[in-house]
Structure 1
Amino acid sequence: MKKRLVVLTGAGISAESGIATFRDADGLWEGHDVMDVASPQGWRKNPKLVLDFYNQRRKNAHTVEPNVAHKTLSELEKDFDVRIITQNVDNLHERAGSTHVTHLHGKLFECRSTLDPSLVYPIDGWELNLGDKCERGSQLRPNIVWFGEPVPMMEVAMEETLQADIFLVVGTSLVVYPAAGLVDFVPEDVPIYVVDPKLPDIRKRPNLHLYDEKASTGMVKVAKLLRDKYL
């Protein structure tokens, strides 16, 4: 039976493909205050700005490709039961071939009703505009979990984490909660591997392995190590 490898990924893994992050820019995301484009208040204040912002993110996402780190995680499915929990809203894990991906913060290529959150639709292409409505007649918004909103997939992620045989953290600074709290749910006897050029401040524990590297080079090393050690 394959060991269950649970992987928490963050902005750092997608940054290497050319997806912009905002944590490195003093809270500005592509020149915008994060709260203007990623909060319910920002949406109420200027929905057109928010829609345009995510349209540009989608347009950009169409031009990038999964990188070595995404592909390495996908290839690990041959040898492990890989469950990815991602803070990213792009679809690069899926495009790389990963088959079990939980998106904590929503999906860039989906929209949902502002009236009924259960009405979720795929976005073909990259545009979502004012006047685009759900079947009940309300404006569609990006299916993104904004700051201040609950994280509906968190319970699924916690359950996955509790069942991990190996836990891997790639490309995240572990500062965005509640996602960052997942490491506290990893059973004490389960090894944790962390890959990030800015290693997060993580509680010291037995079997903690830290790799001060970017996602692509770090993942190649960790994948080899995991195969050598656990197969």
Structure 2
Amino acid sequence: MEKIVILTGAGISAESGLGTFRDEGGLWAQHAIEDVATPEGFARDPALVHRFYNTRRAQAAEAVPNPAHAALARLEAQHSGEVWIVTQNVDGLHEKAGNSNVLHMHGALDGALCAACDHRWPAPLVMAPGDSCPSCAAPAARPDIVWFGEVPYHMERIWQLLDEADLFAAIGTSGQVYPAAAFGQHAGRAGAHTVELNMEASVNARDFSEARHGPASVIVPEWVKGILSS
């Protein structure tokens, strides 16, 4: 298998202590999505949104990759063909583990974005309303995160990779958020072997020709070992 394309979701980072927005009692459970993950929420209460992402940024900065992240880094390093990670996660753990071919379709916590001129720069650990853009000086700094209602990043490149993939895997995804929820079906129709690695079957499990269920830290290293030994 020459080209491997892997979609990762919040499930792969859960074992690194970073909760998903479906976890009960976690950070997401304390806020309505429309208040902290939409452009309208940011316009209404930028202070709340910045506090929320400052907390997430601090958590991500302290988090360490788990065995699933390490396995994917090993796959990229040792596989004879290309390996690409397309991630819905914003935590940076794939890069910490050693992956370099990573496309962040939902942005990244360590990035800042100017809402006025679209300039991007490394985010400080703490951001606040009125922070100015280093390019245009507008007091319009926001987290470089793709919120609900906004267009994910790198989509043209992602569709191209899915068309070219020999193997497509979805790891730790719920299958409920589009366009990522359509990737398995798209890659399969383009000729890729498709596999889902998840705690349990996702809502679009029928789009995959193979499934492996269990904790990512267990099933992903086993899956990678099988690929590298074949």
TM-score (norm 2): 0.92
Partner SS for 1:59: helix
- In the alignment, residue 4 of structure 1 is paired with which amino acid? K
- Note if 1:123 corresponds to 2:123: yes
Partner SS for 1:57: helix
Partner SS for 1:58: helix
Partner of 1:192: 194
Partner of 2:137: 137
Question: What is the distance in 2 between the residues matched to 1:153 and 1:27?
Answer: 29
Task: Tell me how many residue pairs correspond in the alignment.
Answer: 225
Contact 2:19-2:27 at 8 Å conserved across structures: no
Partner of 1:83: 84
Written as runs of structure 1 = structure 2, the 5 A alignment for 1:93-172 is 93-117=94-118, 119-124=119-124, 126-134=125-133, 135-138=135-138, 139-172=140-173
Written as runs of structure 1 = structure 2, the 5 A alignment for 1:176-187 is 176-187=177-188
Structure number having the greater helix percentage? 2
Question: What is the distance in 2 between the residues matched to 1:130 and 1:180?
Answer: 33
- In the alignment, residue 16 of structure 1 is paired with which amino acid? E
Structure 1: which 5+ residue stretches go unaligned? none
Partner SS for 1:175: coil
4+ long deviations beyond 3 Å: 24-28
Partner of 1:51: 50
Partner of 2:2: 3
Question: What is the distance in 1 between the residues matched to 2:41 and 2:161?
Answer: 32
Listed one character per residue, the Cα deviations across residues 36-64 of structure 1 (whole Å, up to 9, x for unaligned) are: 00001110110000001000001111211
Contact 1:106-1:143 at 8 Å conserved across structures: yes
Structure 2: which 5+ residue stretches go unaligned? none
Partner of 2:64: 65
TM-score (norm 1): 0.91
Question: What is the distance in 1 between the residues matched to 2:180 and 2:113?
Answer: 22
The structural deviation recorded for 1:131 is 2.3
Residues 174 and 204 (structure 1 numbering): CA distance in 2 closer, same or farther, change over 3 Å? Answer: closer
Question: What is the distance in 2 between the residues matched to 1:26 and 1:159?
Answer: 38
Residues 85 and 173 (structure 1 numbering): CA distance in 2 closer, same or farther, change over 3 Å? Answer: same
Question: What is the distance in 2 between the residues matched to 1:129 and 1:28?
Answer: 19
Contact 1:110-1:142 at 8 Å conserved across structures: yes
The structural deviation recorded for 1:193 is 1.5
Partner of 1:227: 228
Q: Percent identity?
A: 38
The structural deviation recorded for 1:30 is 4.4
The structural deviation recorded for 1:159 is 1.0
What is the root-mean-square deviation in Å for CA atoms of aligned residues? 1.9
Partner SS for 1:62: helix
Question: What is the distance in 2 between the residues matched to 1:69 and 1:140?
Answer: 33
